[in-house]
Amino acid sequence: MIKPYGSEILTPLLVKDKAHREMLLEEVEKIPSVVVSSAAAANAVMLGGGYFNPLNAYMNLADVLAVAEGMQMPSGLMWPTPVVNLLKGAALSNELKAAAKIALRDPNVEGNPVIAIQSVDKIEQMSAEQISTVCKQIYGTSSTEHPGVAAFVAAGDTLISGTVEVLNFSYFSTDFPETFRTAVEIRNEIKERGWETVIAFQTRNPMHRAHEELCRMAQKELDADGILVHMLLGKLKKGDIPAEVRNASIKKMVELYFPENTVMVSGYGFDMLYAGPREAVLHAIFRQNSGCSHLIVGRDHAGVGDYYGAFDAQTIFDKIPEGALQIGIFRGDHTVWCNKCEKVMMMRDCPHGKEDYLLLSGTRVREILANGEALPPEFSRPEVAQILAEYYQTL
């Protein structure tokens, strides 16, 4: 099986030793605590589950600036996006500023339970100019119209760096017990299934026919043993379909339309960055750590609006250091239903023209579903369309 990224073995930061956990929980009563941002809590979940391997800490300012500028930490590790605990500096107490350790409280769970304990290495303030520059380098813009920029700016201006010990997986393990899996658990299940060549498909949306067939095309071309359909379960932008609806529709599609033991449906606890090319590289790291040999990178992967070119998330893999990643990239093209071919095709492989294609915009799909109408079977499986229609009719 493919090695984890940056190390020989996966090193998740979830504290499993019972005695050590009890010691940490006792320590919580004696150290300052702070409610962190949703993004910082999600970062703790990803550190705890092994997805951010080999990282073991929230980044400091030098790390953030180096990653933003050149996708490389001062240590030499290639890394595409900041992994930070950003807070509003004005809200930090003197007690917290003087602490050697702090308890991080979860903003997404009632009562704000402690999600992790962090050693405080440095507390550093980012200037407005540094925040703007980092956003431009990571997201391609500093405009808060971009949802990723908006979340980064809203989190605060003060970085607290240091190692982390994770106590739980927030709401992900309780709200999605049948779907949420750590990188460790996915890696173990791949071994149990006896898969060697495994294709990962990243999604924050329900899977329509084009997505389904893209997985089949990649599986056929790579002669893969299995597919990991890996959905994001964290915070999305306004208007995106909730995780529980996506979860139900994807599982129904896999149940009805894929052979048994060829697809694993799983989810991970992370807030979407919408960082396009940079996030595509991050997604590749997640899947290498999960034991996948390949990642499908399609058109406008992890994009939003018109901030990125349609295939920027593919070409960025031509720019990273050779050998930095072991995982392979399957590059998908625009995927459409062709009336003449009578099947879903990638445009680059289809001999026909746009007049022969069924193209539905996201806006048009939402209109059809909101009106309780059926989506064309060429676009969506009827069972999936039904689940989506039921959701849209509640809005």
The answer on pLDDT for 237 being more than 80 is no
The C-alpha atoms of residue 321 and residue 317 are separated, in whole angstroms, by 9
The answer on pLDDT for 123 being more than 70 is yes
Across 36-50, 322-336, 362-376, which has the greatest mean pLDDT?
36-50
Strands (E), 278-334: 294-297, 328-331
Confidence bin at 238 (pLDDT 50/70/90): confident
Task: Provide the pLDDT for residue 361.
Answer: 60
Classified as helix, coil or strand, 123 is strand
In DSSP terms, 125 is beta-bridged to 158
Task: Provide the pLDDT for residue 374.
Answer: 81
Q: 66-75, 154-163, 263-272, 333-342: which has the minimum mean pLDDT?
A: 333-342
Classified as helix, coil or strand, 350 is coil
Q: 33-37, 99-103, 319-323: which has the minimum mean pLDDT?
A: 319-323
- Return mean pLDDT, the chain: 93
Q: 138-142, 243-247, 343-347, 365-369: which has the minimum mean pLDDT?
A: 365-369
Helices (H), the chain: 18-28, 38-48, 61-70, 94-97, 128-139, 147-155, 172-175, 183-193, 209-222, 243-257, 277-289, 312-315, 362-370, 382-392
CB-based contacts of 148, cutoff 8 Å, min separation 6: 138, 139, 272, 273, 274, 275, 304
CB-based contacts of 241, cutoff 8 Å, min separation 6: 205, 206, 388, 391
The answer on pLDDT for 69 being more than 90 is yes
Report the pLDDT averaged over residues 171-199. 96
The answer on pLDDT for 157 being more than 90 is yes
The percent of residues above 70 in pLDDT, for the chain, comes to 99
Classified as helix, coil or strand, 269 is coil
The answer on pLDDT for 362 being more than 70 is no
Question: Which residues have a catalytic role annotated?
Answer: 204-205
Confidence bin at 24 (pLDDT 50/70/90): very high
The answer on pLDDT for 181 being more than 80 is yes
CB-based contacts of 76, cutoff 8 Å, min separation 6: none
Task: Provide the pLDDT for residue 360.
Answer: 65
Report the pLDDT averaged over residues 33-44. 97
Confidence bin at 363 (pLDDT 50/70/90): low
Task: Provide the pLDDT for residue 243.
Answer: 86
The C-alpha atoms of residue 99 and residue 331 are separated, in whole angstroms, by 48
Spell out the domains of the chain, with CATH numbers in brackets: 18-170 (3.10.400.10), 179-392 (3.40.50.620)
Q: Give the type of residue at 156.
A: G
Confidence bin at 139 (pLDDT 50/70/90): very high
Task: Provide the pLDDT for residue 262.
Answer: 95
Each residue's pLDDT tens digit, 315-360: 999 999 989 999 999 998 888 888 999 888 888 889 998 889 887 6
Classified as helix, coil or strand, 288 is helix
The answer on pLDDT for 367 being more than 90 is no
Consecutive H or E run containing 334: none
Confidence bin at 48 (pLDDT 50/70/90): very high
Q: Which residue has the higher pLDDT, 127 or 374?
A: 127
Helix, strand, coil percentages in the chain from 3-state DSSP, rounded to 5: 40, 20, 45
Task: Provide the pLDDT for residue 392.
Answer: 85
The C-alpha atoms of residue 308 and residue 312 are separated, in whole angstroms, by 6
This prediction has a pTM of: 0.94
Each residue's pLDDT tens digit, 272-321: 999 999 999 999 999 999 999 999 999 889 999 999 999 999 999 999 99
Classified as helix, coil or strand, 78 is strand
Report the pLDDT averaged over residues 32-41. 96
CA 297 to chain centre: 13
